[in-house]
């Protein structure tokens, strides 16, 4: 079995409620093993014999069937996640402002110009770097004030993007490697 970290986009916001205990149970019912969750924002760690695309599709069906809304899922193997948690391109931000450093992952690999295109929209000193399939963002002025909104990421990348701060990256790493 492969261990996965699965990130849900925009879950437990507004009317899109999926209590984590219920989501864990639904994932177990769907055949996933070792299912854990972290906080209420749609972070799952689980095991499956399926590949990442099949895991994503299955989780999306689980949410649709059990909770009545569609939420996109982005899955990475524990090995891939370990590479993200090994360090960002902004080590000083990891130490000084971990809540402002975000790992942004997409359904599809961002094009090589994505970081540069996002930087043209940055107005609060944000820095964006593409490393492999991950966009790393230093939201120097805070993500809540930034013009780099989820829809901007989606449009530039060409697929759904979801982000987690550095503290969450490390917590999910600990869970995935346990």
- Answer whether residue 64 shows pLDDT above 90: yes
CA dihedral of 10, 72, 68, 29, whole degrees rounded to 10: -110
Query: What does the block give as tokens for 94?
Result: 């990891």
Domains of the chain: 2-80 (3.30.70.1280), 87-177 (3.30.70)
pTM for this prediction: 0.96
pLDDT tens for each residue of 145-155: 999 999 999 99
Condensed to tens digits (0 to 9), the pLDDT of residues 85-98 reads 999 999 999 999 99
Q: What separation in angstroms does the CA of 72 have from each of 25, 33, 68, 95, 147?
A: 18, 20, 13, 31, 22
- 117, 116, 89, 121: which is closest to 102 by C-alpha? 89
Query: Is pLDDT of 76 > 90?
Result: yes
Write the pLDDT tens digit of every residue in 126-171. Answer: 999 999 999 999 999 899 999 999 999 999 999 999 999 999 999 9
Residue 13: pLDDT band (50, 70, 90) is confident
| Mean pLDDT calculated for residue range 59-77 | 97
* pLDDT band for position 10 (cuts 50, 70, 90): confident
Q: What is the mean pLDDT of residues 13-25?
A: 93
- Rounded distance, CA 170 to CA 164, Å? 10
Give the C-alpha separation, 74 to 88, whole Å.
19
Per-residue CA distances from 141 to 38, 41, 168 (Å): 26, 22, 19
Share of the chain above pLDDT 90, in %: 95
């Amino acid at each position: 079995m492969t261990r996965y970290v699965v990130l849900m986009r925009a879950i437990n916001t507004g009317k899109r409620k999926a209590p984590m205990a219920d989501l864990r149970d639904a994932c177990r019912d769907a055949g996933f093993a070792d299912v854990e969750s972290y906080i209420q924002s749609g972070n799952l760690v689980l095991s499956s014999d399926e590949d990442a695309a099949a895991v994503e599709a299955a989780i999306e069906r689980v949410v649709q069937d059990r909770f009545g809304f569609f939420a996109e899922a982005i899955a990475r193997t524990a090995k891939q996640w370990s590479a993200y948690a090994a360090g960002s391109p902004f080590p000083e931000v990891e130490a000084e402002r971990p809540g402002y450093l975000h790992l942004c992952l997409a359904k599809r690999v961002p094009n090589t110009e994505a970081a540069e295109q996002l930087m043209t929209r940055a107005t609060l000193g944000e820095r964006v770097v593409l490393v492999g399939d991950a966009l790393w963002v230093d939201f120097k002025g805070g993500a809540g004030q930034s013009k780099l909104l989820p829809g901007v990421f989606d449009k530039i990348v060409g697929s759904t993007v979801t982000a987690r701060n550095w503290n969450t990256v490390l917590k999910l790493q600990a869970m995935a490697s346990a």
